[in-house]
């Protein structure tokens, strides 16, 4: 099982999710997405696994601050905006195989590990 966490070490929910995985004996691959953002293709794949629209993966306040707050923002523009401004992505995201969950609350990620 290869589990990946898109992690922001400054985020309390991200830290709590990582700790929860480690408590369960899972040592995930850690991607600090602010330093190494996912590609547009990878982000499309993650959004698909989450079963949501790209716009729904954006944190509203950060999206507005990045100029991505238009509620009519298209999928391609939202993906491009998250790649260029990864701070707008909801966090943390845990991926296991072809499943993904957002760690809000952290226990939600246990559904896929």
Q: pLDDT tens for residues 24-71?
A: 999 999 999 999 999 999 999 999 999 999 999 999 999 999 999 998
Verify that 43 and 62 share a domain, yes or no.
yes
User: Any catalytic annotation for residue 11?
Assistant: yes
CATH number of the domain bearing residue 84: 3.40.30.10
Q: Which of 4, 11, 32, 34 is catalytic?
A: 11
Verify that 42 and 71 share a domain, yes or no.
yes
pLDDT value for 93? 98
- State how many domains the chain has: 2
Verify that 43 and 86 share a domain, yes or no.
yes
What's the number of CA atoms in the CB half-sphere (13 Å) around residue 93? Answer: 29
Percent of the chain with pLDDT over 90: 98
pTM: predicted TM-score of the whole model, two decimal places: 0.95
Q: How confident is the model at residue 1 (pLDDT cuts 50, 70, 90)?
A: low
Verify that 49 and 16 share a domain, yes or no.
no
pLDDT value for 46? 98
Verify that 48 and 85 share a domain, yes or no.
yes
pLDDT value for 43? 97
Domain that holds residue 75: 38-90
Instruction: Spell out the alpha helix ranges (H) of the chain.
Output: 12-23, 40-50, 60-65, 75-84
């Amino acid at each position: 099982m290869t589990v990946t966490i898109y992690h922001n070490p400054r985020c309390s929910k991200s830290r709590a999710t990582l700790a929860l995985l480690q408590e369960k004996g899972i040592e995930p691959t850690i991607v600090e997405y602010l330093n190494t953002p996912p590609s547009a293709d990878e982000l499309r794949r993650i959004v698909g696994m989450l079963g949501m629209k790209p716009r729904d993966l954006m944190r509203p306040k950060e999206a507005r601050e990045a100029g991505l707050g238009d509620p009519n923002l298209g999928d391609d523009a939202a993906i491009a905006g998250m790649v260029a401004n990864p701070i707008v992505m909801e966090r943390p995201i845990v991926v296991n195989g072809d499943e993904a969950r957002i760690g809000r609350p952290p226990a939600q990620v246990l559904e896929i590990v």
